[in-house]
């Protein structure tokens, strides 16, 4: 049985984060996906969006199930679900790439700088979601036999997917903060949560969280805020049209 120390910790953090991330996803996509059958008589959800919604949501459900299995020390069940997770991760990367192109195709071509930057930011943020998720999952699979590395990389991969849900919440009516700032703030809080947890519990933080969180957040700023300001970045809006 795992003891609650830095080198061989329990799974309380991962279980709590799993349910928190699932809840954020539910809140973010509730109005436009999960609850539309209840709020709209004829919900306008095409097959592409339905597949996308279920594929991405399945990851959060699987992450919760794996966290519960690990908390109960049911590692055989955890490993079995890990094989399912591998195929689901591949599906997410493929589907996320398709949806990035689909997202860009929905834009009305424009030469106005302001709208063009906003559209480009959305396209590049989607690119970043797919790339960062894939990178953390590859690392998680590569270190699957080293528990302390594996579980942290998988958690970071799951947080990396939260751009979509947090940006939807940022767009809610009555939300007082700028949408971009709100999204960045939410992601920063999610990244800092495991870091603060380890500081409190163990008085030190695993390097995976330090380097992984820094790389993710810096690259997110680069993709979502810096590249869209360039002519090359803005051209991404038209790549798939």
- Residue 130: per-residue pLDDT: 94
List the domain range (segments joined by +) for residue 194: 12-238
| Residue tagged 């689909």 (tokens) | 102
Mean local confidence (pLDDT), 202-224: 94
Share of the chain above pLDDT 90, in %: 43
**Among the listed residues 156, 161, 162, the one whose alpha carbon sits nearest the alpha carbon of residue 138:** 156
| Average pLDDT value for residue range 185-197 | 94
Check if the beta carbon of residue 125 is closer than 8 Å to that of residue 105.
Answer: no
Share of the chain above pLDDT 70, in %: 90
pLDDT digits (tens, 9 = 90+) for 4-20: 444 445 578 888 999 99
Number of domains within the chain: 1
Residue 204 lies in a domain: yes
In a domain, 79, yes or no: yes
Domain presence at residue 102: yes
Is the four-CA dihedral 76, 137, 97, 120 of positive or negative sign?
Answer: positive
Strand partners, 152: none
**Is residue 107 situated within a structural domain?**
yes
pLDDT of residue 178: 83
Examine residue 70 and state whether it is found in any structural domain, yes or no: yes
Q: Which range among 63-67, 103-107, 150-154 shows the weakest confidence by mean pLDDT?
A: 103-107
pLDDT value at 218 more than 60: yes
136-162 residues labelled b (16+ CB within 10 A) or e (exposed): bbebbbebbeeeebbbbbbbbbbbbbb
Mean of pLDDT over the chain: 85
Using pLDDT thresholds of 50, 70 and 90, give the confidence band for residue 134: very high
Give the pLDDT score at 2.
38
Of the pLDDT bands very low, low, confident and very high (cuts 50, 70, 90), residue 40 is low
- Summarize pLDDT for 141-181 with one digit per residue, the tens: 999 889 889 999 999 999 999 998 998 898 888 778 888 88
Q: Assess if residue 5 is contained within a domain.
A: no
Token pair in block for residue 130: 């797919």
Model confidence at 102, in pLDDT bands (50, 70, 90)? confident
The whole-number pLDDT of residue 177 equals 84
Would residue 2 count as lying in a domain? no
- Position 4 scores a pLDDT of 43
Q: 26 burial class (0-12, 13-18, 19+ CB within 10 angstroms)?
A: middle
Q: Is 99 domain-assigned?
A: yes
Q: Is 238 exposed, middle or buried (0-12, 13-18, 19+ CB in 10 A)?
A: middle
Count other Cβ atoms within 10 Å, centred on residue 199.
13
Q: What are the CB-based long-range contacts (under 8 Å, 24+) for 155-158?
A: 155/14, 155/17, 155/194, 156/191, 156/208, 156/209, 156/212, 156/213, 156/216, 157/89, 157/132, 157/133, 158/17, 158/18, 158/21, 158/59, 158/60, 158/63
Q: Is the pLDDT of residue 68 over 70?
A: yes
Residue 200 pLDDT: 92
């Amino acid at each position: 049985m795992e003891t609650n120390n830095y080198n061989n910790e329990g799974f309380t953090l991962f279980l709590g984060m799993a349910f928190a991330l699932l809840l954020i996803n539910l809140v973010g996509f509730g109005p436009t996906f999960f609850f539309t059958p209840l709020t709209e008589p004829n919900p306008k959800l095409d097959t592409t969006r339905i597949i996308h919604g279920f594929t991405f949501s399945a990851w959060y459900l699987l992450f919760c199930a794996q966290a519960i299995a690990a908390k109960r020390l049911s590692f055989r069940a955890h490993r079995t679900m890990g094989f399912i997770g591998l195929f689901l991760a591949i599906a997410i990367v493929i589907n996320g790439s398709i949806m990035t192109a689909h997202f860009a195709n929905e834009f009305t071509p424009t030469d106005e700088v302001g709208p063009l930057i906003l559209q480009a930011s959305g396209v590049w943020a989607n690119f970043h979601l797919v790339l960062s998720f894939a990178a953390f999952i590859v690392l998680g699979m590569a270190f699957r036999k080293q528990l302390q590395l594996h579980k942290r990389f998988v958690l970071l991969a799951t947080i990396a997917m939260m751009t979509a849900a947090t940006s939807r919440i940022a767009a809610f009516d009555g939300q007082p903060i700028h949408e971009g700032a709100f999204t960045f703030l939410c992601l920063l809080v999610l990244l800092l949560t495991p870091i603060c947890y380890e500081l409190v519990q163990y008085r030190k933080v695993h390097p995976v969280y330090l380097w992984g969180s820094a790389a993710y957040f810096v690259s997110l700023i680069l993709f979502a805020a810096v590249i869209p300001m360039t002519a090359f970045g803005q051209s991404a809006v038209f790549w798939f049209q």
